[in-house]
Amino acid sequence: MAIPTLFFSGVLLYLVAWNVYLSFLNWSLVNRVPRFVGLGTYSYLLHQYFFKIGAMHSAIFSLGLIAIGNPLGIFLAGILYFLPNKFRTVMVSIFLYPLAISMATNGLIWTWLFNLHLGVDYVLRLMHLPAIPWLTTPTTTIGALFLVEVWAYTGLAVLFYLASFMGVDKSIIEAARIDKAGGFKILFKILIPNSMNGFIVSTALLFLFSFRLFSLPYVIGGGPTNLNLMTLVTYLYYLFYSEFFSASAATSVIVTMIATAVIIPYALYGIKRWIRRE
């Protein structure tokens, strides 16, 4: 019964193991006959400028999204909690629709919004605000991608926090209301302290989704070689196509290890709470 899923999961583990094996070689365009070099490829990688840049950008995009997505998610979920049911459902859909569209499409839409003449800068100039040089300077390019990322993924945090808030026993809220507690007090003293689950899963999933961002930097940056938007994931793709095969595999192993360090605790937490229901 479980054989097809076990088969495909097995293929995945096999691919991961194969990557580990390849990363210990020195296979590349110049070494057609690879040799075993132990950790040689890894130490080569750590000295590469692009690798450092990619690692830094990956950290900015993932940790940044956690730092902004969580409070923004709490803020929006806090507003939605107090709204009537129907209105709330519509709002949740509005925050989540970016996830129903391909990130490649989202990148394309935003590329034009960042256009210096015809995009949002047009409105900023009309309002006599300074126009932002979006995709033309390194710092604002990173900022632009970050903005798209926050727009695309904050809906997840809103959804998880809202689910946590809704899970809080209604009788506690009613009791607080009778004691004349206002909305702010209910939010900060009751809802937020009871949404540890929302915090854990939002943080884990915001990290995992932003850590594997590929299409957004690829489309907005005009390919994998845009240094301003190079992340670990676009870097491993770039290495593959420039035929540094072992270096690409080593980057893949590093990416997989970082992701696994988040995924396994998430899985064990999830199985305990949602499957065994302890």
Partner 1 sequence: MNSRLIKYIILEIIAIIIAIFWLIPLYSMLINGFKTNFEATATPVLLPPKVFTISSYITVWGEMKRPLINSIIIAIPVAFISTIFGEMAAYFFYVVSERMPAVSNTGFSIISLATFIPYQATLLPLIELEASWGLFNSYQGLIFALLIFYMPTAALLMSIFIPVIPKYLIEAARIDKASDWTVFWKVVFPLTIPGFLATMIFVFIESWNNFFMPLVLTSSPSLRLIPVAERAFTGGYGTLYNDSYAAAVIASIVPLVVFIILGRYFIRGLAALGGGAKGV
Footprint (CB under 8 A) of partner 1, residues 74-113: 76, 79-80, 82-83, 87, 89, 91-113
**Least Å distance between CB 203 and partner 1?**
10
What is the distance between the terminal CA atoms of the chain, rounded to a whole angstrom?
A: 27
Number of chain residues interacting with partner 1 (CB under 8 A): 104
| Stretch of 6-14, 45-53, 136-144, 168-176 lying at the interface with partner 1 (CB under 8 A) | 6-14
**Residue 64 or 73 with smaller CB distance to partner 1:** 73
CA angle in degrees (0–180, nearest 5) for 232-105-266: 50
Tell me 122's DSSP state: H
Q: Which of residues 33-62 bind partner 1 (CB under 8 A)?
A: none
Q: Scan residues 241-260 and list those touching partner 1 (CB under 8 A).
A: 245, 248-249, 251-253, 255-256, 259-260
Binding status of residue 63 toward partner 1 by CB under 8 A: no
Considering beta carbons, is residue 138 or 167 the nearer one to partner 1? 167
Q: Which of 61, 134, 153, 211 binds partner 1 (CB under 8 A)?
A: 211
Least distance between partner 1 and beta carbon 49 (Å) = 21
Q: What is the DSSP letter of 278?
A: -
Q: How far is the CB of 137 from partner 1 (least distance, A)?
A: 18
Q: Sign of the C-alpha dihedral, residues 55, 58, 64, 67? A: negative
Q: Which of 67, 172, 227, 271 binds partner 1 (CB under 8 A)?
A: 271
- Kindly state whether residue 124 participates in binding partner 1, applying the rule CB under 8 A: no
Taking the complex as a whole, the smallest distance from the CB of residue 105 to partner 1 amounts, in Å, to: 5
Q: Residue 207, Cβ neighbours under 10 Å: how many?
A: 22
Find the binding residues for partner 1 in span 144-203 (CB under 8 A).
151, 156, 159-160, 162-164, 166-167, 182-183, 197-198, 201-202
Decide: helix, strand or coil at residue 117.
coil
- What share of residues in the chain are helix, strand, coil (percent, to 5)? 75, 0, 20
Rounded to an integer, what distance in angstroms lies between the CA atom of residue 236 and that of residue 253?
10
Q: What are phi and psi of 223, to 5 degrees?
A: 125, 180
Q: Which of residues 125-144 bind partner 1 (CB under 8 A)?
A: none
What six digits make up the tokens of 169? 């026993």
Structure tokens at 249: 């595999």
259 touches 208 (CB < 8 A)? yes
Q: What is d(CA 267, CA 278) in angstroms, rounded to the nearest whole number? A: 14
